[in-house]
Amino acid sequence: MAYDDLRSFLRALDREGDLKRIKAEVDPHLEIGEIVDRVQKAKGPALLFENVKGSSMPLAMNVFGTERRLAKSLGLKGPDDISEKIAGLLKPELPQGFTGFRDAFGKLASMTHVPPRNVKDAPVQEVVLTGDDVNLDELPALFTWPMDGGSFFNLGLTHTKHPDTGIRNLGLYRLQRHDRRTIGMHWQIHKDSRNHYAVAQKRGERLPVAIAFGCPPAVTYAATAPLPGDIDEYLFAGFIAGERVRMVDCKTVPLQVPADAEVVIEGWLEPGEMLPEGPFGDHTGFYTPQEPFPALKIDCVTMRRRPILQSIVVGRPPTEDGPLGKFTERFFLPLLKIIIPDIVDYDLPEAGGFHNCVIVSIDKKYPKHAQKTMHAIWGAHMMSLTKLIIVVDSDCDVHDYQEVAWRAFGNVDYSRDLTVVEGPVDHLDHASYQQFWGGKAGIDATRKLPEEGYTRDGGWPEMVSSDPATAELVSRRWKEYGL
């Protein structure tokens, strides 16, 4: 089973020696960021800063910094555990298309241990602060990189609901602390919460928002998952955790939050109230520019009696984003196969920010099968933001970048096998010559068929490989060689 809350998971890591408590005073202005960046790039332990300058609140960092820790927090051996569970749930019918993707998740609702359950008393509401007692300066926000535009909360789970349908959304967005009662909401153009705010603005209404920190690990992971807008992240969190997530009504806004979170801030977004947000050293490894984003006024803060805040450091990969992205890649393979049955396997390189590049293998059956797969990916939900698609044959291990590079470098005639299109790109993409859309490429690194115009004598060449009998002989005699 997954851990019920953040602190129980930290205790487990402490017992295993995979948590480092830092008792020396550390500054959230640049110093903590430098420490965490070094530790996470070295695949080091989770960190608990117990003496953060300017705050009495401990700060947990690098909690999900390795795949092993993330798996442990979710009660899994590895990401394939859930992937296999999802695949089993979808069989035998394997519905087709995006509607089938939605219906597949709908099946989860019938599982009694999945839907969240409401409670009246919650640890996160042991302390309730309102009005002038609200002071966000007491929460340890991070000024991570020298050119950042201010201090940010990087792991606040943002709750909104659609003004018309009432469907809630749980998302993970960076949050700039403007002053003791104001937060900047970095809602990118493709995100569901931005759509909720746009609908509220058109209706001339304010939008309720609740942001939870230090949530149960399954909830935190679910907030990062690129689910369709009408799929409840708490349903997914319950499916991952194997138990229902406990939810409690907020004190001042009509929303619900995890009862076992550490801190929750509540407020309302007034129509049209914007403030400059950024710059910020983001997970792309580059600074994103300053732009106007909605400014949230905080009316209430609830917390445990001795709360722990959780955050992450993003920047040039590898970072803590890596394990989270890799788990999403594995979890969603069975679901992606529903939309695109051609796919055998895929890999989202961390160096590509998990959306700039996808490597995909197919069991090639007909001419231009690779190009068909490329266009299917560019039409599949958030996969539409992919900038580079490399298609290889099914006998290529998509996770072996040396193997993929060998195929891509050697199997491609770029006058024929390169597909260039234009389409949407991520809000944070700095390479596109205008914001939100730009050029994309697909590389067909599969074996070429005569029907595709490859008519050289002898056809496509065979790959070099060892003689099986000799390979077995050498393996048997290896110790004799003294090697």
Active-site residue numbers?
282
User: Phi, psi at residue 94, to the nearest 5°?
Assistant: 40, 75
Biggest CA–CA distance in the chain, Å, is 82
Query: Using CA atoms, how far apart are residues 355 and 352, in angstroms rounded to an integer?
Result: 6
- Taken in order 263, 267, 272, 273, the sign of the CA dihedral is negative
Following DSSP, what letter does each residue of 74-119 receive, concatenated?
TT-SSTHHHHHHHHHHHTTT---HHHHHHHHHHHHTTSTTSS-EE-
Contact of 144 with 191, CB cutoff 8 Å: no
SS3 annotation, 7-54: HHHHHHHHHHCCEEEECCCECCECHHHHHHHHHHHCCCCEEEECCECC
Edge to edge, the sheet with strand 117-118 lists 117-118, 246-249, 256-258
SS3 452: helix
The DSSP letter of residue 120 is S
Contact of 64 with 324, CB cutoff 8 Å: yes
